[in-house]
């Protein structure tokens, strides 16, 4: 879905195998920059100017690109969908990691499904209580790619508390005997032909994830676009699916500029998830090394107070995510 537009305004088509240096050209009457364009919906595209294309490649599972963008710095693109951008990835990763870790009374070990970029592990390893983080990503090419090109996460990859496993997260969780304080779904979006949609299903949550959580354990997953119009793609049904498995379920969202939308996460547990802003701030001061750039107690309170439209939609959602009745965000994976 991602395309590069050359300076004369003519698209070269697929991003795969692009060999463009991204330098500006002076052509009267035409755009002077190389542009990246992503098709968000059939009638809606999002584009931004590039300084250069740093790297492109492909694995057996996904197509990969690293772009140096003018508005958002380095940006990781997988299967034509922007996954993470240098200037605002902290919003996504702080929201994904810290609410679940802070609601757990004493998190020691965490399992990450996906997370090959390393940013989720980076945020987890800021917590003083953490003894071990297992990061399980199916795609070794993505992990090696991010190790090589994303300098911000080099320390996380070198941390002795991090164990990197290349495997399907379902198979890895099934094979392991240990239980975890927190399990995190930092997976690619569920797209048709992508490698991850089966890890958003009721059977997976019920039969694989929940049995691997310790008493009082918490599961949290990224849950796709959560805007006024986009939340019905997958956010609402992921929320409803988790309500069928866990006693307490908290949806929350935040605006991420490089995604051109509000983004959603869902946190779930059989223990209450009810810390107030002051309690969250206290635990942040006690547990987290350094200061968050985005998330504090008041921010999480705001993030978990959804708009009237989205609240009503989530309350009335009846769809349960299964392999047979999967929902996808707009786009397609390598094997669609």
Q: What is the DSSP letter of 235?
A: H
Task: Please identify which of the residues 63, 139, 181, 186 carries the catalytic annotation.
Answer: 186
Query: What is the mean pLDDT, run by run of 10 residues, along the chain of 336 residues?
Result: 53 37 38 81 89 88 90 91 94 98 98 96 98 96 88 95 97 96 93 81 97 98 96 97 98 96 98 98 98 98 98 97 87 56
Dist. CA 314–CA 232, nearest whole Å: 9
Judge residue 64's burial from the number of C-beta atoms within 10 Å of its C-beta, 0-12 exposed, 13-18 middle, 19 or more buried: buried
CB distance 245 to 206 below 8 Å: yes
181 is a catalytic site residue? no
pLDDT attached to residue 291: 97
């Amino acid at each position: 879905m991602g395309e590069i537009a050359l300076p004369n305004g003519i698209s070269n088509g697929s991003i795969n195998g692009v060999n463009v240096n991204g330098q500006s050209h002076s052509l009267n009457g035409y755009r002077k920059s190389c542009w990246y364009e992503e098709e968000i919906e059939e009638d809606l595209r999002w584009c931004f100017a590039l300084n250069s294309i740093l790297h492109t490649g492909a694995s057996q599972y996904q197509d990969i690109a690293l772009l140096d963008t003018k508005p958002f710095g380095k940006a990781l693109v997988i299967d034509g969908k922007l996954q993470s951008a240098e200037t605002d990835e902290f919003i996504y990763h702080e929201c994904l990691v810290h609410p679940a870790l802070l609601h757990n009374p004493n998190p020691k070990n965490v399992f990450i499904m996906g997370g090959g970029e390393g940013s989720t592990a980076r945020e987890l390893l800021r917590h003083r209580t953490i003894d071990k983080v297992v990061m399980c990503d199916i795609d070794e090419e993505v992990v090696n790619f991010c190790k090589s090109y994303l300098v911000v996460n080099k320390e996380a990859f070198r941390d002795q508390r991090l164990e990197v496993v290349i495997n399907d997260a379902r198979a890895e969780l099934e094979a392991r005997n240990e239980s975890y304080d927190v399990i995190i779904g930092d997976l690619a979006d569920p797209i048709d032909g992508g490698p991850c949609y089966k890890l958003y299903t009721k059977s997976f949550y019920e039969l694989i994830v929940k049995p691997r959580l310790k008493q009082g354990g918490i599961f949290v997953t990224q849950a796709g676009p959560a805007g006024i119009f986009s939340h019905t793609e997958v956010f609402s049904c992921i929320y409803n699916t988790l309500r069928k498995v866990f006693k307490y379920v908290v949806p929350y969202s935040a605006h991420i500029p490089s995604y051109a939308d509000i983004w959603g996460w869902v946190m779930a547990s059989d223990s209450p998830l009810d810390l107030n802003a002051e309690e969250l701030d206290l635990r942040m001061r006690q547990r987290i090394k350094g200061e968050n750039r985005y998330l504090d107690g008041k921010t999480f309170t705001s993030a978990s107070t959804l708009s009237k439209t989205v609240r009503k939609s989530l309350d009335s959602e009846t769809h349960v995510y299964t392999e047979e009745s999967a929902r996808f965000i707009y786009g397609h994976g390598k094997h669609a």
